[in-house]
Amino acid sequence: MTGDRNKEPTSAADALASLLEIDPFTRAGVWAVVTASGAVHLINSTDADSAVTVTRLTGALDTADAEQGFPLAHLRRDGHPVQVLALEHLTSDGHRAAGVLVGADLLMALEPLGPNALVTFRGTTPVRLIHVLPPDARSSMSKPSGGS
């Protein structure tokens, strides 16, 4: 995807396309990305002058299908915004491409989450759904919750 990070979807067709593929580094918005394990990743890129963040949610969504082999792990800083350095997915021919794509595993480079880390890498189970969140959800996403 190409474009300006400050650009919002301007038509129903733009909004529908963003449900299949997004690149938060080129388009502003807040999205809920649901993976096969049942985890929900809230991705926020509402301000061009601020970092892209991801907040991984678990809890009520701990409904992974054990028969599919996708147990939901609990990870460091679940429920808290984490700065995203890069978001990529693997293409059908095995190359890495920018952004999030329904049907592909999400690969994330994140701020260091361990005391001796320079960067943290995380991969997800295949993305099942990308949902655009409404504008009123965006303001609450920019305020981190307490504790870590």
The structure tokens 């997915």 sit at 89
pLDDT number for residue 39: 87
Residue 141 lies in a domain: no
Up-side HSE of residue 121: CA atoms within 13 Å toward CB?
4
Size (the chain), residues: 148
- Residue range of the domain that includes 49: 12-135
Q: Is the pLDDT of residue 115 over 80?
A: yes
Q: What are phi and psi of 53, to 5 degrees?
A: -125, 160
CA distances from 64 to 32, 55, 108, 145 (A): 17, 19, 21, 26
Residue 109 lies in a domain: yes
Tens-digit pLDDT profile for residues 59-98: 544 454 545 556 666 776 777 899 999 999 988 898 999 9
Residue 5 lies in a domain: no
Residue 115 lies in a domain: yes
- What percentage of the chain has pLDDT greater than the value 70? 66
CA dist 82 and 84 (Å) reads 6
**Region 16-20 average pLDDT:** 61
- Say how far residue 124 (Cα) sits from the centre of its chain: 10
Does the reported pTM lie above 0.75? Answer: no
- 14 vs 75: which has the higher pLDDT: 75
pLDDT number for residue 146: 43
Residue 88 lies in a domain: yes
Number of independent structural domains in the chain: 1
Q: Is the pLDDT of residue 145 over 50?
A: no
